[in-house]
Amino acid sequence: MGGWILLQKRSPVSTLTWILTLSLIPVLGFFIYYLFGPKKIIRHRLSRRRSKQIVERNYAIWSPFIQTEDFPDAYKSMARLIFNTTNIPLCHSMDYRLLSGGEKTYDAIFDAIGKAEKYILLEYYIFENDQTGQALRDLLTEKVKQGVSVYLLVDALGSSRLTRRFMRDFTQAGGELGFFHNITWRRLFSLINFRNHRKIVICDGLSGFTGGVNITDEQDLRKNPKAYHDVHIQVDGPVIAWLESIFIEDWHYSTGDLSLVRTLRKAGQKEPDVERVVTEPSQAYRMQVIPSGPDSDFAPILRVMLSAMYRARKRIYLTTPYFVPDEASLFALTSAALKGVDVRLLVPRKSDNLVVTLATRSWYDDLIKAGIRIYEYTPRMLHTKTLVIDDDLSFIGSANFDYRSFYLNFEVSVLCYESKANELLAREFHESLHSSEEVIPKKQSFAYRLLTSTARLFSPLL
């Protein structure tokens, strides 16, 4: 078995960890390796690739390239990096609407759903059966009764309280409900890893949403005074076709159903006004969608973020609820600060996971020593996931800045190459700083340092 693990050619730390585990607990270790080891990842990759191939054969994307003669070389190399790791090219949206807070996000999504006439696609990690979930369920049920095709895909673990009984009216009306990695004995141990953490909503191919906001009262101040603070974006145009392709692949992988492809063919894609894009390029937001997950060998979101960080010359503003960096991302952040870039990290004072909070603080000394300024958001849980680079690049999506999001979860992020979008996210960052306190280095007790260092040991599992 040790020789087989060596042939996997994983990192030395991972390889030695597995060999040590099998040596110390040979029988139990074998089952742990079978359930959680590299072969488990390989099985998921093979299944995902089959779905991807089937979807590619049945779903043709019409998404034109925009004029790139004036596209800076630094952008071209980054666009090529994304394409080579995800097969998603540079495209655009004619709008980029930042939705700050669950209240604005829900209002915009509900409004777009209410206007939909052909189809609605929704993909969520958390869909609760609370007031927000009930309101959305009822609206979706009503749209189905109006003849709109509605597909709802939720993660089986994140939405464990969303029962088929709760969704009965929706499904009986004709709505389609799918569970990503549905709970079965065969997949029982898959529930810890390989979660679908994406948040995507598409209405008629005309309006699309993504970001960090789930469907829950926990993200709406109108229902909960301690609601998480988060952001979302609303886009339109050709970029939506790539969000659709991610949804279709996830849907087929989860359900084996290709009826969605027929639905989209029947609805037809509305082609954007290409002439306007060519003659008025300043009106278009050039962007790329970046899906990432354990089915990829390249950790696309992390790889692109690190590339952007090394390119930074002026500022890096990172907002994340969970900061659990690996060595590569820690080097990128500290190297940027050491060469004079204004690097700032914004995290919640207390996350919803105590071990994550303690692990995050274990990196404070190293970050501050390199010149990085750290802020803790104090009013409530900060759930925002954004990255602002200089005055042009900006990321927003579902991925936390941690090992789980970069390597184990299925995530989606959007990189926008426009200063207008960059400024919106930079303004959101500064507004959050008004409700934050900067971390000032101070001597901690031995017990506290031991506690945070111990929490860091669990970082690959958090």
Question: Do 308 and 263 share a structural domain?
Answer: no
- 181 as an active site residue: the answer is no
Q: Which residues contact 243 (CB under 8 A, 6 or more apart)?
A: 200, 202, 208, 210, 289, 412
Question: Do 362 and 252 share a structural domain?
Answer: no
Looking at residue 294, its pLDDT comes to: 87
Decide if 44 is inside a domain: no
- 252 as an active site residue: the answer is no
Looking at residue 352, its pLDDT comes to: 80
Looking at residue 424, its pLDDT comes to: 98
**Residue after which a domain boundary falls, among 234, 256, 287:** 287
155, 220, 236, 390: the active-site residue? 390
CATH number at residue 212: 3.30.870.10
Per DSSP, the three-state class of 423 is helix
**Residue after which a domain boundary falls, among 259, 287, 315:** 287
Decide if 75 is inside a domain: no
Rounded Cα distance between 34 and 27, Å, is 11
Question: Do 282 and 294 share a structural domain?
Answer: no
Looking at residue 362, its pLDDT comes to: 86
Looking at residue 4, its pLDDT comes to: 47
- 40 as an active site residue: the answer is no
Looking at residue 277, its pLDDT comes to: 40
Decide if 258 is inside a domain: yes
- 197 as an active site residue: the answer is yes
Question: Do 352 and 276 share a structural domain?
Answer: no
- 204 as an active site residue: the answer is yes
Q: Which residues contact 431 (CB under 8 A, 6 or more apart)?
A: 100
Looking at residue 263, its pLDDT comes to: 81
230, 385, 392, 402: the active-site residue? 385
Each residue's pLDDT, cut to its tens digit, for the chain (462 residues) gives 555 445 444 555 555 555 555 565 565 555 555 554 544 555 556 666 677 776 666 666 655 555 556 677 878 899 999 999 999 999 999 999 999 999 999 999 999 999 999 999 999 999 999 999 999 999 999 999 999 999 999 999 999 999 999 999 999 999 999 999 876 655 555 556 789 999 999 999 999 999 999 999 999 999 999 999 999 999 999 999 999 999 999 999 999 888 888 788 777 654 444 443 443 445 689 999 999 998 888 999 999 999 999 999 999 999 999 999 989 999 999 999 999 999 999 999 988 877 888 888 889 999 999 999 999 999 999 999 999 999 999 999 999 999 889 988 999 999 999 999 999 999 999 999 999 999 998 777 777 677 776 777 666 555
Question: Do 213 and 111 share a structural domain?
Answer: yes
Rounded Cα distance between 343 and 340, Å, is 9
Decide if 59 is inside a domain: no
Looking at residue 27, its pLDDT comes to: 53
Question: Do 180 and 295 share a structural domain?
Answer: no
Decide if 68 is inside a domain: no
229, 383, 392, 402: the active-site residue? 383
44, 181, 204, 230: the active-site residue? 204
Token pair recorded at residue 253: 């992988």
Question: Do 239 and 188 share a structural domain?
Answer: yes
Give the pairing type, strands 200-203 and 207-211: antiparallel
Decide if 22 is inside a domain: yes
92, 181, 199, 229: the active-site residue? 199
Question: Do 375 and 345 share a structural domain?
Answer: yes
Domain that holds residue 27: 2-36
Q: Which residues contact 77 (CB under 8 A, 6 or more apart)?
A: none
Looking at residue 235, its pLDDT comes to: 97
Question: Do 315 and 188 share a structural domain?
Answer: no
Looking at residue 70, its pLDDT comes to: 66
Per DSSP, the three-state class of 372 is coil
Question: Do 252 and 306 share a structural domain?
Answer: no
Q: How many domains does the chain have?
A: 3
Decide if 57 is inside a domain: no
**Residue after which a domain boundary falls, among 236, 264, 287:** 287
| Secondary structure element (H or E) that encloses residue 98, with its range | strand 96-100
For 339-357, the DSSP string reads TT-EEEEEEESS-S-HHHH
Decide if 440 is inside a domain: yes
Rounded Cα distance between 287 and 66, Å, is 10
Looking at residue 215, its pLDDT comes to: 98
Lay out the sheet containing 149-155: strands in order across. 96-100, 231-235, 207-211, 200-203, 119-124, 149-155, 176-180
- 250 as an active site residue: the answer is no
44, 92, 143, 197: the active-site residue? 197
Question: Do 390 and 242 share a structural domain?
Answer: no
Question: Do 347 and 423 share a structural domain?
Answer: yes
